[in-house]
């Protein structure tokens, strides 16, 4: 049996459950905009500071190798990855990545950010850029 990655999975973390429910309420906009494109959701885990954290992953495949991936973890860490489309299959992939903290954000705010990011809204990258944690340490 093949796993259906187009369905939002049930998260164990209460915060991620709330985020995934709110994203599900807003998903029609993304699915309508994504006709013919592949939308995938997964639950994963990551280890940080000797603890294991549940993460909720969402990927919007747009063709020609282009995609947007959003990963939100129960500890409040969130990653954004945008892979630019490749003109030729032998071109080197180019990525835009951001890491932010959504600790203290409501599930509604996180779901809105995820939805807007999956829609490929270029303006939403400015939000990720503004809150990028790596820039604060440079």
Q: Average pLDDT, stretch 10-22?
A: 94
5 within a domain of the structure (yes/no): no
Judged against a pLDDT cut of 90, whether residue 133 lies above it is answered with no
Tokens 């294991």 found at: 52
pLDDT digits (tens, 9 = 90+) for 46-100: 987 789 999 999 998 887 778 899 999 999 999 999 998 877 777 788 899 999 9
Strands (E), 1-138: 38-48, 51-63, 66-73, 77-83, 95-101
**Number of domains the chain contains:** 1
8 within a domain of the structure (yes/no): no
127 within a domain of the structure (yes/no): yes
pLDDT value at position 138? 45
95 within a domain of the structure (yes/no): yes
Q: Average pLDDT, stretch 25-52?
A: 80
pLDDT value at position 35? 62
31 within a domain of the structure (yes/no): yes
How far is the C-alpha of 57 from the C-alpha of 105, rounded, in Å?
A: 17
**Domain region containing 75:** 14-136
4 within a domain of the structure (yes/no): no
67 within a domain of the structure (yes/no): yes
Find out whether 117 and 101 touch, Cβ atoms under 8 Å: no
Q: Average pLDDT, stretch 103-131?
A: 89
């Amino acid at each position: 049996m093949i796993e259906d990655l187009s369905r939002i999975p049930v998260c164990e973390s209460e915060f991620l459950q709330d985020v995934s429910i709110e994203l599900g309420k807003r998903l029609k906009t993304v699915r309508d905009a994504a006709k013919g494109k592949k939308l995938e959701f997964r639950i994963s885990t990551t280890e940080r500071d000797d603890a294991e954290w549940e993460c909720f992953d969402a990927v919007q495949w747009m063709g020609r190798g282009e995609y947007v991936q959003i990963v939100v973890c129960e500890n409040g860490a969130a990653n954004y990855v945008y892979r630019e489309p490749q003109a030729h299959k032998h071109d080197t992939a180019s990525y835009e990545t951001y890491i932010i903290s959504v600790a203290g954000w409501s599930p509604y705010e996180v779901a809105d950010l995820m939805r807007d990011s999956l829609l490929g809204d270029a303006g939403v990258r400015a939000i990720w850029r503004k809150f990028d944690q790596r820039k604060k340490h440079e």
